[in-house]
Each structure stands twice: as structure tokens, then as C-alpha cells.
Amino acid sequence: MDGRLHINSGTADVGEIEAEWKQALSGKTIMGLSGRTVTIGRGSSNMVHIGSKTTAVSRRHATIAESSSGGFELFISGLNGVRVNGELHGTGARVALHSDDDLNFVGIRFRFRAAERAVDAGDDWWPAPVRKRVADGPGSYTSLSKRVRGLSSEAGALYQNSTDTLVGTDDVARPHFIDDLPSSPPHMPLLDFDVCGDEPALDDELPPLPKIAVDKENAAPPKQNIAPAKTPKRAKAARRDDDMMASLRELLGIVDPSEALADSIDSDTEAFLTAAPAQPLALAHGGSLADLLVESMVFSARTSHTISDLLRDVAPADADARTWRHHVTWTLFHTRCFGRVERRVKDASDRRAEDRWYYDAAADDCPLRRANFGGLARTARRCTLRDTQYFFKQVPKLPSFRYK
């Protein structure tokens, strides 16, 4: 027999129980488990050589379970019996076990140990604090409750006679509790009755307070507020040389944030807006330039358009580019139906990005144009959401060391 133990548990954590059993078996100790059955015998993994075959044979030698009386009981099912404290018990015997009992299973000795019971939350109590109150009579003492839970009669008597439970009635040793503090005096009426029983009238005025005579000749002179002497302010440190800082920024390549932001209108647009175009445009269809720009914006795949985009769409190939740009710029700035997305960023070549324009059907004064293109045009919110107001300069490519 190899002393292999089996624990039959339906709800317990088998891993924790096996770890606890391995620790107990290292010290040759069998631990009784409350509510579970411990089996001592041969497990099914043991191999026995019978003739030329190797067969897995299991055998139950004894079981330890909790009895109805609260203790543990050993039931012997093996034919060899078990010695408990040197006394041999045969097959079918039931033996009551106690802690530190010596168990001998066919030459393999173990010591039995009962598992510690889990303490309930109700049993794990702490004695309630008993208030030390002062008796009415002088020279008397107050003690704690005569019955202390959890203590025997001798321990209770010793605890009652100890000096910790006695408090003197003198003012020095008297404890002060919230209930023992003197209560606040009752609210007194504003008007008291005289001894004779007459009640004063509410209209009676109190006599004026006597004035105290002041000796003006021997009186001390009034104190004068003497302001402290003002110390001269410390001169501010001289500012750094702006020219030196500018040269240092230029040497390090630091760009001022105000310089990175472009003007609201570039110089070319400002020159176009100073005066109306003098030369008229000869349009092929005979309509206005505003109608041509609205039609180009509505039927284009772009959400918003720059002036360069519009010139590529509507201007002829052999036309004067500056004249057409002047007319288109003047029309866009002086017609209410065109919305402007102001762009004040710069591109990689340090040039100001062009403004973007879109058709706003809600602000169009022409009812015919609004009826024809109002359902096809994109909303102003959609045209302004996709605008990119920033630019990231691309990092130059690093030389590759692989092909060198």
C-alpha cells in the first residue's frame, strides 16, 4: 500500500484541498475535513504486476468522515485492519477519532488532526463597551455588568474586582460623557417679574447709562497713524537686445508664429478689389458670369473651389488669364450667393493658400437660380467642414545605407 489519499468533494475547490493535503502528508499527518470524506487506499493510477500483465488496481482501505455527534469517525473496509493508538481494529469497525491520534495502516503510520472549524461572524464577537457611570451617593463606585459574555465565573469575578472597572466619584477621576454633561439652562424670558408680583409694562424705557467724566487735561494724546517711509522702487532690468535675439532666431532657424500666418487677403486679390474690371468679358452663352460660376460649382465633384479651379473650368484656353482672374475675383466678392472659406495657412513653398468658394443657395437673391440649383447644391456646413486649415511639411528622405 502506498498511502495514496482521495478526497471526495462536490463543491470544494479540489486544487486548494490537494495542496493542503500534500503539505499535511509531508509531515505524516492526516487532516479531517468537515463535510467531506477522506479515503485511504490505492488509487486507480497505481499499477500492479499480475503475472505477465500490468493492471491498474484500486482498493479502499479506510474512510474518515464527520460523525453525527460532531467529531470524526474512522470506518475500516480493508481486510488487514487499522491500528489506532496501538489497538488493532478489524474490518467493518467504526472508531471515533480525536486530534493527535496515531493511525497505523499496514505499517504506514500517520497522525490524525481535526480541521479547525470556521468561526461564524456571529461567534467572532467583541464585548460591547460598558459605560462607566457615577452613582448618586458620594464615595460609591460603579462597576461593569455582572455578567460578561464568554468568561467563566472565576474570570468574571476577577474581572469585576480589578481596579480597571472602578471609577471614583471625585471631580478629578469622574469621567465626562455626553449624557453626563450639564444641560443648557432653559431660555429665560426677556422681562422678569418683580418680587412683589407686578409685571412691568413693555413701554417702560430703561434708565440711561451714566456718563463717565473724562479728564481731558491729563488724557494721553491721540495716536497718529504714521505712514512708513516709502523706499524707492527697484529699477527694472534692461530688456534684451531685440536685434541680437532676431539674429539668434535666424541663425537657429526659429520661425515666429505670427510670420507663419498669412494675411487675410493676398496682394493680388487686394489689387483686384480696388477697382472694377474695365474690360467686359465676352461670354459664349450670353449669360452673366455669376450664372456660369454657379453652374460650374453645382455640377463639379469638388465640395469647394479655389479661383484657380474655377478659371480652369470656365475660362477659355486662349483668354487673358489676368483679366479673367480680375472678373472672377470681383464677382465672387460682390455677389451674395457665394460663400468664402478664408484660409490663412501657407504651403511648403511659403505661399499663402488660396481661399475656397462655394454656392450658398439660401443667400441667393435670384429666385430662378435658387429654384434650379437649390436642390443640387451642397449645404454651407458640408462645404466648410472639409476645409484643411493646417499643413505638414514633408520630412526629407534620409539616405539609404543599404545601397551604398
Per the structure, how many domains does the chain have? 2
pLDDT digits (tens, 9 = 90+) for 347-380: 667 777 888 899 998 888 898 888 888 888 888 7
Q: Which residues contact 170 (CB under 8 A, 6 or more apart)?
A: none
CB distance 99 to 31 below 8 Å: no
Q: Which of 61, 91, 114 is the last residue of a domain?
A: 114
Task: Give Cα 270 distance to the centre of its chain.
Answer: 55
**Is 173 inside a domain boundary?**
no
Q: Which three cell numbers stand for residue 145?
A: 455588568
Domain limits for position 51: 4-114
Between 298 and 262, the higher pLDDT residue: 298
pLDDT band at residue 234, thresholds of 50, 70 and 90?
Answer: low
**Is 169 inside a domain boundary?**
no
Is the pTM value of this prediction over 0.85?
no
**Is 34 inside a domain boundary?**
yes
> For residue 295, which phi and psi values (nearest 5 degrees)?
-65, -40
pLDDT digits (tens, 9 = 90+) for 86-128: 889 888 899 998 888 888 887 788 888 887 665 555 555 566 6
The torsion defined by the Cα of 15, 18, 23 and 26, in degrees rounded to 10, comes to -150
CATH number, domain of 30, equals 2.60.200
pLDDT digits (tens, 9 = 90+) for 41-80: 776 666 666 667 776 666 778 888 888 887 889 998 888 8
